[in-house]
Amino acid sequence: MSGSLYDVIIIGGGPAGCATAIALHQLGITKVLVVEGSDYSRERIGESIPPDTRGLFSRLGLWQVFEQQNHQRCLGSYSSWGSDDLGFNDFLFNPRGHGWHLDRLSFDRFMADEVRLRGIDFLSGVRFHQLNRDRQQQVTNIALTGSQSGEKQQQSCRFVVDASGRSASLARCIGARFKTQDNLLCVAGFFHRQELATDLALQHMTLLEAVEHGWWYSAHLPGDRIIAAFASDSEIILQHRLKQPEHWCRALAQTRHLGPALSPAKLPLSLHTWVAPSALLNPPAAEGWLAVGDAASCYDPISSQGIYKALLGGLNAAPAIAAWLQGDSRPLMDYRQSVGEAFINYLAQRAYFYQREQRWMQAAFWRKRHLASGIYQGEAATAVHE
């Protein structure tokens, strides 16, 4: 595969990278290479997607095949937020129907298979390492390394896409930097349904519960698995030793709704920790490259918007790339602007949501979010216009 000049190389075969490759293919751009560092065997996070995602699957030509996958329907969410009561928000009146709780690994493998089925070159187990750009020739040379073998190779292209998720490894090589507005940490445990006294009513729902030091959520996944996750600041997690299963389980048991609903009979074998920042890449695009998905902007998991944003980003990025390859860079600059504007909208929604919780005004977690919401939006606006 070495040696040929690609129109586009995409670093990262997650939802954003695969959606970009498929959307480019729909526009007739087929000299595309996707480079994925993993072999899709390690646990991934991010499973709830809203009903509106159906429209994006349709636009990508994936709706019928996605429907045949075995993902769990999500009919709505219960939440205890701003009040001790458990409110219920269902999707019954959404014209697009229900959402889904994905088996995240099989979803990412499915997206990668759909890319390959279209005849698009796809390297997995190969990591982006370094790049060097020949601006006169308008060629970018990409150095790649086998994740296991350490074997090196080089590929060249005219346009390069960073879809490497929160690491934004390619964009950072070019000199772009994240402006981080918030740095949540999530500690998650996976259970099998048999290990829990789960209330059947919760089976097709997401459950969200605010507590003094952060918030919890749980979701029922395919294969009768259940995820429960606690989101807070790293110093609070450290102080309460919440990376240790016994402390994490004790904190879960102390919640008003989630603990009694799950009541795990035993500790999870291990806990997984993920950073969940709210951050905007500055800039998210420039001549010859763009970032998409989490590499361009990361949203708080409370929004359940990450995968939706990744798929939509791929659909928006493809025409901007196609135009750039034809010599018109205006759509690329529009794309760059739209990533920033969407981020500002997201910050406003997020601030509104966190402001609704007023029960623990003196607790460090909530004080920090209430104080910061105004400042965040001002800073983000600057990032877009820089």
> Judged by CB under 6 A, which of 49, 115, 242, 380 binds ligand FAD?
49
Interface with ligand FAD, residue 210, by CB under 6 A: no
Q: Measured from the CB atom, is 165 or 214 closer to ligand FAD?
A: 165
Question: What x/- string results for residues 254 through 293 when contact with ligand FAD is judged by CB under 6 A?
Answer: --------------------x-x----------------x
Identify which of residues 187 and 380 has a Cβ nearer to ligand FAD in the complex: 187
Interaxial angle between packed helices 104-117 and 15-26, expressed in degrees from 0 to 180 and rounded to the nearest 10:
30
Are 230 and 216 in contact, with CB atoms under 8 Å apart? yes
Stretch that binds ligand FAD, among 20-28, 161-169, 353-361, 362-370 (CB under 6 A): 161-169
Q: CA 361, CA 279: separation in Å to the nearest integer?
A: 25
8 A C-beta contact, residue 222 and residue 71: yes
The dihedral through the CA atoms of 320, 164, 105, 146 has a sign that is positive
Under the criterion CB under 6 A, does residue 310 sit at the interface with ligand FAD?
yes
Q: 98 and 373 in contact (C-beta within 8 Å)?
A: no
Q: Does 307 participate in binding ligand FAD (rule CB under 6 A)?
A: yes
Q: Give the 3-state secondary structure of residue 102.
A: coil
Tokens of 28: 């007739």
Out of 98, 118, 127, 256, point to the residue binding ligand FAD (CB under 6 A). 127
Is residue 318 within the footprint of ligand FAD (CB under 6 A)? no
Q: Is 5 helix (H, G, I), strand (E, B) or coil?
A: strand
Q: Is residue 142 within the footprint of ligand FAD (CB under 6 A)? A: no
384 Cβ contact list (under 8 Å, min separation 6) = 280, 337, 340, 341, 343, 344
Regarding 38 and contact with ligand FAD (CB under 6 A), the answer is yes
Interface pick for ligand FAD out of 10, 22, 48, 357 (rule CB under 6 A)? 48
The DSSP bridge pattern shows strands 5-11 and 72-74 to be unpaired
- Rule CB under 6 A: say whether 185 interacts with ligand FAD: no
State yes or no: residue 186 binds ligand FAD (CB under 6 A).
yes
Backbone angles phi, psi at 326, to 5 degrees: -90, 0
Tokens 């981020």 belong to residue: 343
Sole residue written with tokens 């509104």: 352
Q: Which stretch binds ligand FAD (CB under 6 A): 47-55, 70-78, 89-97, 246-254?
A: 47-55
Q: Binders of ligand FAD among 287-306, rule CB under 6 A?
A: 293-295, 301, 304-306
**CB closer to ligand FAD out of 29 and 33:** 33
Stretch that binds ligand FAD, among 37-45, 242-250, 326-334, 373-381 (CB under 6 A): 37-45
Q: Which is nearer to ligand FAD, 99 or 283 (CB)?
A: 99
Asked whether 282 and 176 are in contact (CB, 8 A), the reply is yes
What is the DSSP track for 252-297? HHTSSSHHHHH--SS--S--EEEEEEEEEEESSEETTEEE-GGGTE
CB of 22 to ligand FAD, least distance (A): 13
Given 6, 9, 10, 17, the residue binding ligand FAD (CB under 6 A): 17
Q: How far is the CB of 100 from ligand FAD (least distance, A)?
A: 10
Question: Can you list the alpha helix ranges (DSSP code H) found in the chain?
Answer: 15-26, 53-59, 63-67, 104-117, 169-174, 234-239, 245-253, 258-262, 306-325, 330-355, 364-385
Look up tokens 């560092």; give the residue: 37
The whole-angstrom separation of Cα 300 and Cα 210 is 14
For ligand FAD, the binding residue among 77, 140, 164, 232 (CB under 6 A) is 164
Question: Is 169 a binder of ligand FAD (CB under 6 A)?
Answer: yes
Closer to ligand FAD by CB, 163 or 242: give it. Answer: 163
Q: Does 162 bind ligand FAD (CB under 6 A)?
A: no
Minimal distance, residue 38 CB to ligand FAD, in Å: 4
Residue 187 touches ligand FAD, criterion: CB under 6 A? no
Residues in contact with ligand FAD by the rule CB under 6 A: 11-17, 35-38, 45-49, 127-128, 163-165, 167, 169, 186, 229, 274, 276, 293-295, 301, 304-308, 310
